[in-house]
């Protein structure tokens, strides 16, 4: 696998995805050894329309991002169950469309909880969104703060870059390898 720890001389491009039905954030970083470099970020906006139409926009948008920036790996935030079950179901479908976009382009996909992402980026799992955004801006030396969804996606990519060099890589935690079947 061409992970960040595979070689100190080869950059790995990671696509972070923050799924949402109205706005799916994406962020791309390159890792070379311990260095993180910003590549691009933005949002896939679905607008109004039927659920299937909006899911197709997410799927196609992720595929377009992958075709444009050619990442080596993807990292997606795991959704949490919130108070409104209907919202959770809709968000889960948006997440599924984003994951399908990545795996249909043969990208290995890692999944991280919001707690793991915040821990990796800020240093504690209870960080506020503003703290995450600020640390993303500092870690990637950005001149300005990215949008909230893009910042969350970049944070997910940073989490993967950090985690794939640590215990998660050794244990195979949080990753899906090409051609493998996962069972619980």
Does residue 77 have an active-site annotation?
yes
Does residue 149 have an active-site annotation?
yes
Going through the chain in order, the beta strands assigned E by DSSP cover 12-18, 23-32, 35-45, 73-77, 109-112
Given the residues 30, 77, 111, 152, the one annotated as active site: 77
- CA–CA distance, 26 with 154 (Å, rounded to integer): 7
Q: Smallest Cα–Cα separation from 7: which of 33, 36, 35?
A: 33
Given the residues 18, 30, 72, 152, the one annotated as active site: 18
Does residue 143 have an active-site annotation?
no
- CA–CA distance, 80 with 113 (Å, rounded to integer): 8
Given the residues 30, 72, 111, 149, the one annotated as active site: 149
Beta bridge partners of 77: 112
Q: Which residues are annotated as catalytic?
A: 18, 77, 149
């Amino acid at each position: 696998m061409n992970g960040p720890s595979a070689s100190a001389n080869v950059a790995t491009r990671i696509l972070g995805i923050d799924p949402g039905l109205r706005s799916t954030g994406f962020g791309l970083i390159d890792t070379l050894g311990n260095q993180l470099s910003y590549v691009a970020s933005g949002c896939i906006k679905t607008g109004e329309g039927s659920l299937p139409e909006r899911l197709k926009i997410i799927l196609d948008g992720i595929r377009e991002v992958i075709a444009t920036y050619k990442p080596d790996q993807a990292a997606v935030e795991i959704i949490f169950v919130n108070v409104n079950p209907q919202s959770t179901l809709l968000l889960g479908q948006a997440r599924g469309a984003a994951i399908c976009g990545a795996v249909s382009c043969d990208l290995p996909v890692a999944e991280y909880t919001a707690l793991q992402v915040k821990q990796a980026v800020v240093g504690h799992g209870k960080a506020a969104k503003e703290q995450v955004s600020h640390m993303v801006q500092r870690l990637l030396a950005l001149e300005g703060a990215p949008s909230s969804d893009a910042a969350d996606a970049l944070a997910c990519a940073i989490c993967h870059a950090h985690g794939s060099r640590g215990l998660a890589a050794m244990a195979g935690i949080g990753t899906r390898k090409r051609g493998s079947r996962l069972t619980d």
